[in-house]
Amino acid sequence: MKSVVGPFVIAVLIVVVGAAFYTAGRTETRLADAHKRLAMLQYQAAADATTEAEQNAGVLDVAKRLPMAGVDPATDERELRATTEYWQASYATLTPQRDAGGMLIEKDPELLFVTANAAFRASQTGDRADSLRRLDSVVKTYADVLKNSPGHVNAAYNYEFAVRMRDGLGKQRPGAAKAAAARAAADDTGGDLPAGPTLHGKPGGPPPQVNMNQFKIVIPKRGEERNDAPDAGKGGTKVRKG
């Protein structure tokens, strides 16, 4: 009987470990796809891929205990989820959670940074007084991020940017904020990209109040076209008039 039980237990362990590695591989594949979709500005597709990765990881809890190189999949999933919600303007779901003493509960610096960015975006809506009040909270949130991660360069830059915006808004005339909002709406060029800024920056476009008809687009000739007309572009002999 012992000769049968031993191989059976070993076979069961091999199956369990194999299933764990298979599940971990599928999870990593879906997370990689979520990162790719996020880079392509396909936010909903990135969120769906993140959900599939979470479901794959939850099928077999043993997969979560496997040694992983790089970022922990569970941490990567949470950061991806927060990033997709941020770029889908779901700022209310990214409110930083604090304990009774006002200290941040979350310790992941990247996740804290996303929630701070969401708080900054949310502060851009409403009247001037409300924006000033929200910017005060944004500055404190960025300061908390820097306390948890002193070497976070982007958080340090955004902290200074938020402070300057708060100070500038405090000195700004009431009508200037509406003019700035109108200019921001005019900058939306439409097209196949999402409206407003993306993780790659602000959408480009021609400078305002510039006549683009004065610019000519020169398209280089293909190789066979240059062979057919080798003298093209050299110009002929100038004939002197008079």
Q: What is the mean pLDDT of the chain?
A: 75
Residues 9 and 71 in one domain: yes
Scored b (16 or more CB within 10 A) or e, 121-138 reads: bbbeeeeeeebbebbebb
**Band of residue 165 on the pLDDT scale cut at 50, 70, 90:** confident
234/238 Cα distance (integer angstroms):
12
**Band of residue 63 on the pLDDT scale cut at 50, 70, 90:** very low
Pick the range with the lowest mean pLDDT from 73-82, 114-123, 174-183, 233-242. 174-183
Residues 96 and 75 in one domain: no
Give which of 56, 149, 137 is closest to 102, Cα–Cα: 137
Q: What's the average model confidence in pLDDT over 75-80?
A: 83
Residues 17 and 49 in one domain: yes
Number of domains in the chain: 2
**Band of residue 166 on the pLDDT scale cut at 50, 70, 90:** confident
Tokens of 66: 């496997």
pLDDT for residue 70 is more than 60: no
Task: Please give the DSSP secondary-structure letter assigned to residue 237.
Answer: P
**Cβ atoms of 85 and 93 closer than 8 Å:** yes
What pLDDT was estimated at residue 231? Answer: 65
In a domain, 218, yes or no: no
Helix (H, G, I), strand (E, B) or coil at 98: strand
Place of tokens 């999870």: 27
CB atoms within 10 A of CB 229: 10
Instruction: Show the CA angle centred on residue 145, arms to residues 199 and 126, nearest 5°.
Output: 65
In a domain, 40, yes or no: yes
Residue 39: which domain range? 1-88
What pLDDT was estimated at residue 194? Answer: 63
In a domain, 28, yes or no: yes
| First-to-final CA distance of the chain | 117
What pLDDT was estimated at residue 160? Answer: 92
What pLDDT was estimated at residue 44? Answer: 86
Residues 2 and 69 in one domain: yes
pLDDT in tens, 1-10: 556 666 767 7
Residues 58 and 126 in one domain: no
Last residue within a domain, chosen from 25, 59, 88: 88
pLDDT in tens, 182-237: 555 555 545 555 666 666 677 777 777 778 777 777 777 777 776 776 665 565 66
Residues ≥6 apart with Cβ < 8 Å to 11:
none
pLDDT in tens, 89-122: 888 888 877 777 767 777 788 888 998 898 888 8
Q: What's the average model confidence in pLDDT over 77-81?
A: 85
Residues 80 and 139 in one domain: no
Residues 109 and 36 in one domain: no
pLDDT for residue 60 is more than 50: no
Cut 0.85: pTM above it: no
What pLDDT was estimated at residue 156? Answer: 92
What pLDDT was estimated at residue 157? Answer: 92
Last residue within a domain, chosen from 43, 69, 88: 88
Residue 69 φ/ψ region, left for φ over 0, alpha for ψ in the -120 to 50 degree band, beta for the rest = beta
Last residue within a domain, chosen from 135, 165, 186: 186
More confident residue, 159 or 127: 159
pLDDT for residue 180 is more than 70: no
Residues 127 and 177 in one domain: yes
Residues 106 and 73 in one domain: no
Residues 65 and 18 in one domain: yes
